[in-house]
Chains A and B, each alone.
Chain A
């Protein structure tokens, strides 16, 4: 445990001091001001636009963090052979994966917490400026949306770990992680679009439907974590939905990390 903790700690320190994280956080502050400006230009639905923009910014900046800071921190370890200094210690390869994952997750949680504060500040500014537009606004819906966005980023990060566990370059890991994110975000909607004509007797390619269904099982269903619309309209989201989504996210990440550990154990580092 001590080794795992110390690896997570140096991963966190290394990540948080990197220019990529600073750059992304500065970009987040810019997005906060952009949110205030754009929402302020709206004549109606100010609350909806402000919340939607805050959540989309958080998701976008979070993704940049996962792809360019998170996944890179792991795959560059292998590419630059920094991993030698870790594996030469009495640290098992599974602990290496878990320590690295814990450290990078901590960077994402820390950065997202700061982003959430900035985005919430932009909403407070707008709420004070246009109180009548924010009658249906709910802080709890916004908080749960932040939370589910965070879980979805952790899920994407875990898929990045799986790819980094077998790929030889950080570029391949990055491309595969982005593709996974794109498929994971849209597979459920594509499946619904294909199923509707099929259900009413229209001809759809069974092979295509089968492929999309398979993708829904294999790739993470990231649309589960997207409650931006509900948060923007101040709609009620059942707690059971939130808890089951979190459970799904944890389970999926667990499977991805277990697979990464199995692959990593067999890997050689010439």
Chain B
């Protein structure tokens, strides 16, 4: 079976504004996630996690290589009907309410009015925003904004959910809520691809793990295989990142 998310031999560099020098962000990375899998994408700050995610959303384009979701190029606009996305530190129109935000998400994804209302209420309840749904987003706490973003990512019931640091800015209750949502999505057969720094969360909910450092994918395997030898995910993570750092130096 073909993987639902496939990044093949992708390199990406950015031009530094001051020196006009090219800075390599990703170097020949390849990764894949199967349908129904929860993929944890791990890496230190600046490793290339967000760059990879932006490639999956066609917000940036690869210098070389290919990126596909469900066998289709990510450049296809219609593909985004089956993709939900939560950016890192999301920033939304601050004078809108969570209800209006979800209405937009549903409308833009081609949903019917009744369908949007039903999904919105369900998601607002799950994300504990039901009482705050008619308040402007600018009055929300950081955690509430993050939860509103998560509801927006899921409003059109996507097949593939891409979350960039979904746990950042959340308190332990918020983190548990996100973990439970991801587990629910997995149960519903959805594919979840998410980046995180929090190794404990990844260990709890992921089927497969990819570790990236300095723009290179150091390791990709199922969590069961990785933990088979008795080491913790934390040990493996540090060992892999250090290996790349030594090679780089």
Contacts and interface: CB of A to CB of B under 8 A. Distances in A.
Contacts of A14: 93-96
A7 interface: yes
Interface stretch (A85-93, A159-167, A240-248): A85-93
Interface string B100-142: 1101110111100000000000000000000000001000000
Contacts of A86: 108
Which size class do A's interface residues fall under? Answer: 20 to 34
Interface string A1-18: 011011101100110011
Contacts of A82: 91-93
Interface residues of B, number: 37
B193 interface: no
Contact of B14 (A6, A13, A90, A270): A270
B208 interface: no
B59 A89 contact: no
Q: Is the interface of B mostly helix, strand, loop or mixed?
A: mixed
Given A87-B59, A270-B60, A81 B87 contact: yes
A203 interface: no
A85 B107 contact: no
Contacts of B78: 90
A80 B61 CA distance: 20
B152 interface: yes
Contacts of A17: 95, 136
Contact of A85 (B61, B83, B87, B94): B87
Given A90-B77, A90-B81, A84 B109 contact: no
B95 A18 contact: yes
Given A82-B92, A89-B108, A91-B77, A268 B61 contact: yes
A269 B54 contact: yes
Contacts of B51: 270
A269 B90 contact: no
A89 B80 contact: yes
B192 to A, nearest CB: 15
A221 B77 CA distance: 37
A268 B60 contact: yes
Contact of A269 (B59, B79, B91): B59
A90 B104 CA distance: 12
B185 interface: no
A51 B121 CA distance: 52
Interface of B: 14, 51, 54, 57-61, 77-81, 83-85, 87, 90-96, 100-101, 103-105, 107-110, 136, 149, 152-153
Given A2-B107, A10-B100, 5 more contacts: A3-B108, A9-B104, A84-B90, A88-B59, A89-B109
18 contacts: A2-B108, A6-B103, A10-B96, A10-B100, A10-B101, A13-B93, A13-B100, A14-B96, A80-B91, A84-B59, A84-B85, A85-B85, A85-B87, A89-B80, A90-B79, A90-B80, A269-B60, A270-B60
